[in-house]
Structure 1
Amino acid sequence: MRPNFLIFITDQHRADHLGCYGNPIVRTPNIDALARGGVCFDRAYVATPVCMPNRGSIMTSRMPSIHGARSNGVPLPLEAVTFADLLGEFGYRTALVGKSHLQNMEDAPPLLKTPESRAGTQRSGTFPEARRSTIDDPAYCQELKASWADPAHRLTLPYYGFQEVVLCNSHADECFGDWLRWLQREHPELAQRLGREHGVRDPDFVSPQAWRTHLDEFQYPTHFIADQSQKWIRDHVANHPDQPFALMCSFPDPHHPWTPPGRYWDMYRPEDMPLSPSLLPAEEHPPHVRWLMDERNRGAAKVDGQRLFMATPREIQEMSALTYGMITNIDDRIGMVMETLRECGADRNTVVIFTSDHGDLLGDHGIVLKGPLHYQGLVRVPFIWREPDGDGADAQVRRDDLVSSLDLPASILTRAGIASPNGSQGKPLFDPVGAPLGSGRDAVLIEENQQRAYLGFETPVKVRTLITERHRLSVFGDAQWGELYDLQQDPHELDNLWDAPAAIGIKAELLQRLVCALMEHADSSPSPTRIA
């Protein structure tokens, strides 16, 4: 019998912000129960630590530079083949409840400008890009907040392979989509009191982007997503009992802004939050960290936006406490969904997966949020896989083989007995009957292409990172320096060995391995149609 798939995804969630990954403070009993009954991957890494491109990789099993959504602001091409497409072809009923972010959500213009034409040349009005593209068509405006202002707007289904979608995009109590329409219908007075302009500042908190929402926990997006997932499961079991399903339950939290509702706001005390050991003085910070320090010291840091910034120890503790509140809220809702799965009897044939699109620096080296600094807190994510028979309290398995976000869709397809399409770059971690398969990876490739030119770089930042069993190497496109850390001897990545004489040999070896990894991840789709 083909298994069902229930896939929980959180947003901007570090691996070590779960009890099952060793965190002694945050309370996540329901996620921990999934880990106890399943497989917990200790070395799961993103293909890129950015929302849209890594969500594209989770859907397609391809690197961002290959699937087309190379950075935030570039939607996943609609012609991309997703694991949901393939499941649907083989008879699965597929649905997404919650955050999608495979297309742009915000209406602001891009930061990255079109390169200026060379003097004496004219730019084409018909062919401004190197390939014909339709990304300005309405089909690529389906997730825009402005599109959802029209009450008649709906997603065109299937949407990237999902036959049904209940959308809840953006973050905190500033979400929109089907959730906001529900709130406007059921609680119109609250729908007028959302967001930072209406939020209540807590006098005990100094952190930017932190406010008390007027929503209670049952009106907040996290509960709506869980409730809609429960309803979908009940409907499926009642009306499609003989059809396998794949449901992605996608939470926008624990992403900033920090607005955990009700009791989750002060569930954790900032003073109880330990600061990262990476805050200890290092002999010499890399240039990009020094740039952030200087930016904050001169009062120029952009603390109310989306990009990373240097934070004070008190801010880090407050953000951590509020993040933990958001995580426990998610955990409680996952418990609701899992209880519904059990009540319906669907748990007996459902593979349950938990992961995140990327992490958050959240205090590593004094920095918060995300950006092209590939420290472990940002690029390492939780990844839990529980087979249908995984209810035994002592059944937990921990795996330390290197795995990538690319491997999630490849594993789902293989477990469903479906071959991955040509061009898939993921490694299946389980066979069609659920037996474990080693990833076979001796390294993980991470790439990032930013729209911003910052951190001391003159051009938009580009990074390529290689993580091996022992080391992390990062190469920047506009720098004469790089990063090299021995993760066994220096787990907090304080001692950059890039220029260390004793590391010349390993640096040369890793640079060669990085080049080989880039070649390995070159596109192989489409297949040749003739010999020549």
Structure 2
Amino acid sequence: MSDRPNILYIITDQHRADWLGCAGHPVVKTPNIDKLAERGTRFTQFHVTTPVCMPNRGAIFTGRYPSVNGLRHNGLPLPADANTFVDILRDAGYRTAAIGKSHLQPFGHVPAVRADEERVANEHFPEAKKPDGADYAHEHPSNYETGEMFEFPKPYYGFDHVRMVTHHSDQCGGHYLQWLRSKSNNWACYRDRNNQLPHDYTVPQAYRMKTPEELYPTSYIKEEAKAYLAEQKDSEDPFFAFVSFPDPHHPFTPPGKYWDMYDPEDFDVDLPYEAHKNPPPQLARWKELMDQGEVPTNEQQSFMASTQQVKEAMALTAGMTTMIDDAVGEILESLEAAGKLDNTIIIFNSDHGDYMGAFNLLLKGPFAHDSVNRVPFIWVDPTQEGGKTADDLAASVDIAPTILERCGLTPYYGIQGRSFLNQIKGGEGARDFVLIEHEENKVYPGLDKRPNMRHLVTDTHRMTVYKDLDMGELYDREADPNETKNLWDCPESVAAKSSMMFTLSQAMLDAIERGPWPKHFA
């Protein structure tokens, strides 16, 4: 195998770690992803660096915490001056491609606003940093209104080849929408939710759209990935291909046969709201809203649903997941047809999880739980024996240094992640804890201000602290793996709480930007 392996990085959006056949899910079918686990190493304790899409993707690409790299929450861009591990791969001669959802820049119409609007800024120097003059509108809908495919500046965060997909499920935009318009005169009809097919599902955001399977975003990304891999057949240069699916993120819109591939009655809600012995304020408030029949008008707001509605969401999510798995199978066939399979590292991952029924919740939000913080991660390396699991802690911020070490490349100064390459080789992990930074961009039920949190995960406990709020959470992950009893105020947990507080302080110090030392102190 070459010292410079190809890398095929496949990522899903909002996908729980246990929602794979190889992870023990009893219903959802993912045979192609399961085969990757058979050929590689599946991590069982892989956590996000933040359970929010944009900042976690920023952490993946930079190897730096959101509080340091600048992409702290959704709605902010990754600063143009941020280096990524893709930049280093490209500089080393890799051909680089991003196919699908990037989400390193905002892709909606809502402008960013300051969280501290009550403060008065200096008229001439309103911000702490001078404007960098960069254009952060490359993923904005206005770029994709014409029939001519929008050309990205090269490189785009290290990528030379970009096929952009923005938003989620059936409402995706970007290059996908331009492609859809070129493929069908009925494209607007397919996307009109007033024109959906009849169904009897009651869960909010379940839409049975008329979009054919072959015109759904998952299929577009699949075909673009296959075409890119075919182009690599005669190339002597290694490639890095980031293939990013917007599913199984809500809304719940599996097309064609995937809509009714699963029966809601085949699923169980094994962690209902009543399982939590002392729910925190946001969880209790979500329950009140559900009992009052209130559903958020903002489709990105998490909510609590009835058992039947949760089971419906599970069935539709399973359909979206299996569609991705089918696409993965075809992509892998194209990789093999190009003659690159034996010299390619394959990664399967997700940017964050989904409550998917935990305490009757759906989506994600400012209530920390294993279902949103722990994600799938599989690493297939042709030089390593397959069929293994890695059970030590690892995190999204660790991906960049691991890829660079595996490729024999020196990282830039300031990477904060820790390589887990030793775990892939069968050794111990590099972490005793995972720090999860979690800053939301809006106020949620049960909380009177925009939540800013830090979660600390160890082998034995999970702790959450809230900025400016007199509350906290502490769970014993060994005795209570489902996190159903908050031990924050329990006298018998004083020692554990004190130990976790000390570890959290060390973790937060470790996450601070490191400055260079003066030469005479080196």
The answer as to whether partners of 2:146 and 2:178 remain within 8 angstroms in 1 is: no
2:506 is aligned with 1:512: no
Match for 1:21: what amino acid? Answer: A
Q: CA deviation at 1:521?
A: 1.1
Match for 1:46: what amino acid? Answer: V
Q: 1:221 aligns with which of 217, 222, 227?
A: 217
State how far apart, in whole Å, the 1-side matches of 2:211 and 2:412 are. 44
Q: 1:472 aligns with which of 462, 466, 480?
A: 462
State how far apart, in whole Å, the 2-side matches of 1:196 and 1:112 are. 33
2:19 is aligned with 1:17: yes
Alignment map for 1:181-196 (pairs within 5 Å): 181-196=178-193
Q: 1:402 aligns with which of 362, 371, 393?
A: 393
2:232 is aligned with 1:236: yes
2:310 aligned partner: 316
State how far apart, in whole Å, the 2-side matches of 1:74 and 1:282 are. 34
The answer as to whether partners of 2:275 and 2:359 remain within 8 angstroms in 1 is: no
The answer as to whether partners of 1:30 and 1:334 remain within 8 angstroms in 2 is: yes
Match for 1:453: what amino acid? Answer: V
The answer as to whether partners of 1:28 and 1:331 remain within 8 angstroms in 2 is: yes
Q: Which secondary structure does the structure 1 equivalent of 2:435 belong to?
A: strand
Unaligned 5+ segments in structure 2 are none
Q: 1:129 aligns with which of 127, 130, 138?
A: 127
Q: CA deviation at 1:314?
A: 1.1
The answer as to whether partners of 1:44 and 1:402 remain within 8 angstroms in 2 is: yes
Q: 2:161 aligns with which of 161, 164, 170?
A: 164
Alignment map for 1:321-400 (pairs within 5 Å): 321-388=315-382, 395-400=386-391
Q: CA deviation at 1:85?
A: 0.2
Worse-superposed segment, 187-196 or 305-314: 187-196
Match for 1:424: what amino acid? Answer: I
Q: 2:263 aligns with which of 248, 269, 292?
A: 269
Match for 1:36: what amino acid? Answer: E
State how far apart, in whole Å, the 1-side matches of 2:446 and 2:201 are. 31
Residues 279-323 of structure 1, C-alpha deviation per residue, up to 9 Å, x if partnerless?
A: 444332111211111223334430551011111111110111000
Q: 2:38 aligns with which of 36, 49, 70?
A: 36
The answer as to whether partners of 2:390 and 2:426 remain within 8 angstroms in 1 is: no
Worse-superposed segment, 81-90 or 471-480: 471-480
Moved >6 Å (runs of 4+): none
Q: CA deviation at 1:440?
A: 1.7
The answer as to whether partners of 1:173 and 1:195 remain within 8 angstroms in 2 is: no
Q: CA deviation at 1:197?
A: 3.8
State how far apart, in whole Å, the 1-side matches of 2:297 and 2:383 are. 46
2:245 aligned partner: 251
State how far apart, in whole Å, the 1-side matches of 2:249 and 2:322 are. 13
State how far apart, in whole Å, the 1-side matches of 2:243 and 2:65 are. 23
1:180 aligned partner: 177
Residues 394-423 of structure 1, C-alpha deviation per residue, up to 9 Å, x if partnerless?
A: x31111110000111111111110122111
2:453 aligned partner: 463
The answer as to whether partners of 2:290 and 2:304 remain within 8 angstroms in 1 is: yes
Q: Which secondary structure does the structure 1 equivalent of 2:190 belong to?
A: coil
Residues 154-174 of structure 1, C-alpha deviation per residue, up to 9 Å, x if partnerless?
A: 321210001110111111110
The answer as to whether partners of 1:142 and 1:154 remain within 8 angstroms in 2 is: no
The answer as to whether partners of 1:98 and 1:251 remain within 8 angstroms in 2 is: yes
Distance 1:269 1:280, change over 3 A: same
The answer as to whether partners of 2:366 and 2:444 remain within 8 angstroms in 1 is: no
Q: CA deviation at 1:93?
A: 0.5
Distance 1:201 1:464, change over 3 A: farther
Q: CA deviation at 1:110?
A: 4.2
Distance 1:114 1:188, change over 3 A: farther
State how far apart, in whole Å, the 2-side matches of 1:519 and 1:488 are. 27
Q: CA deviation at 1:528?
A: 4.1
State how far apart, in whole Å, the 2-side matches of 1:158 and 1:150 are. 23
Alignment map for 1:292-311 (pairs within 5 Å): 292-302=286-296, 305-311=299-305
RMSD: 1.9
Q: Which secondary structure does the structure 1 equivalent of 2:276 belong to?
A: coil
State how far apart, in whole Å, the 2-side matches of 1:421 and 1:436 are. 27
Q: CA deviation at 1:277?
A: 2.4
The answer as to whether partners of 1:107 and 1:146 remain within 8 angstroms in 2 is: no
Question: What is the aligned length?
Answer: 518
The answer as to whether partners of 1:415 and 1:431 remain within 8 angstroms in 2 is: no
Unaligned 5+ segments in structure 1 are none
The answer as to whether partners of 1:171 and 1:257 remain within 8 angstroms in 2 is: yes
Relative to the length of structure 1, the TM-score reads 0.94
Residues 404-462 of structure 1, C-alpha deviation per residue, up to 9 Å, x if partnerless?
A: 00111111111110122111111112269x74553320000001111212233222101
Match for 2:387: what amino acid? Answer: Q
Q: CA deviation at 1:501?
A: 0.8
Distance 1:304 1:520, change over 3 A: closer
2:141 is aligned with 1:145: yes
Worse-superposed segment, 43-52 or 472-481: 472-481
State how far apart, in whole Å, the 1-side matches of 2:442 and 2:225 are. 37
Match for 1:417: what amino acid? Answer: G
The answer as to whether partners of 1:428 and 1:437 remain within 8 angstroms in 2 is: no
The answer as to whether partners of 1:208 and 1:303 remain within 8 angstroms in 2 is: no
Q: Which secondary structure does the structure 1 equivalent of 2:35 belong to?
A: helix
Match for 2:228: what amino acid? Answer: W
State how far apart, in whole Å, the 2-side matches of 1:499 and 1:486 are. 13
